Amino acid sequence: TLFAGFQSATMGGLRPANNPYQSDKKAIAEVYARISQETFDQAVQENVDEFGMDAEEALADAIEQFETQGVNLSNVVKRVPGAPAEDDPPAIVAVRTLKDALAAAGESDEAEDEVLEEKFGTGMLKLTFFKCDAEMAVRVTEAAAALRTECQRDKEQITLVVHNGAVDALVAGCLSLISIAAALPPVLESLAVVLGDAEAREQLGVRGICALMATLRRHENNTAVLTAGLHAVRAGMLVHETQRQQFVGSAGVLKLGA
């Protein structure tokens, strides 16, 4: 069965035999050779203001200078000064659309705080969020589906979206849609793709774990939600022993379907 296969993978198939933590350690180490979006944008603008370069030349020079110094630019949007937001990479546009939809849900006249309590270890964690109505649910799912498509098409965009709040936005999306089962799979599958990134797994945290578990417990008899949710859980545990223990021990993922 679906859940039996997940249990087998959880207990034995999530840790590669050869040097299991090497990939995450390498990826996280690269963080220290990065700069912020603001620093990059300032460098490009300085090339224009101080050296009289045109926009494209200023951008190319900034990229070359940083890369020559060994700086990893995978987390910054490489754009010319004054470029419209619509020119950003499609995955970034999708994250922005997702955030805007969630913000709109929280700002509507009917919006009220929803609170769930989810068991974690020996205690309970409160999850506070706004529910999406049907119209907002469509916007959230469309943005999540677009995000997944773009990240699968160009995996380099995953690092970009992680640095632009994709993990928190997708976790918030799961909670906001928790009462609309049909809207959840695109959000969960998008989260599964994003969690393929080592830094994304670090960002998931206890809130993200509990949000996933609350979603799965609510819909454990819904095959589409369960399948997508377990994909996200598996991605969150991959090569991350602490998080695996939290999902299995503290959150009780293996008790689903029992």
Amino acid at 140: V
Please name which of 73, 70, 68, 44 lies closest in space to residue 57, comparing C-alpha atoms: 44
Helices then strands, each counted (H, E), the chain: 12, 2
DSSP per-residue string spanning 198-256: HHHHHHHHHHHHHHHHHHHHHTTT-HHHHHHHHHHHHHHHTT-HHHHHIIIIIS-GGGT
Give the HSE-up count for residue 31: Cα atoms under 13 Å, Cβ half-sphere. Answer: 13
Amino acid at 93: V
**pLDDT (0 to 100) of residue 1:** 53
Residue 257 three-state SS: coil
Average pLDDT over residues 4-8: 55
pLDDT one-digit tens code per residue, 220-237: 999 999 999 999 999 999
> Is the pLDDT assigned to residue 199 strictly greater than 90?
yes
Domain ranges of the chain: 112-258
pLDDT one-digit tens code per residue, 238-256: 989 999 999 999 999 998 8
- Exposure string for 15-31, b = 16+ CB within 10 A, e = fewer: eeeeeeeeebeebeeee
Instruction: Report the predicted TM-score, pTM, of the whole model to 2 decimal places.
Output: 0.84
Would you place residue 11 in the very low, low, confident or very high pLDDT band (cuts 50, 70, 90)?
very low
Alpha-carbon gap, residue 215 to 209, rounded angstroms: 10
- Exposure string for 151-177, b = 16+ CB within 10 A, e = fewer: beeeeebbbbbbbbebbebbbbbbbbb
Alpha-carbon gap, residue 60 to 200, rounded angstroms: 29
> Is the pLDDT assigned to residue 26 strictly greater than 80?
no
Alpha-carbon gap, residue 213 to 193, rounded angstroms: 18
Contact between 174 and 184 (Cβ < 8 Å): yes
More confident residue, 48 or 109: 48
For residue 227, CA distances in Å to 186, 188, 197, 230 come to 11, 9, 20, 5
Would you place residue 30 in the very low, low, confident or very high pLDDT band (cuts 50, 70, 90)?
low
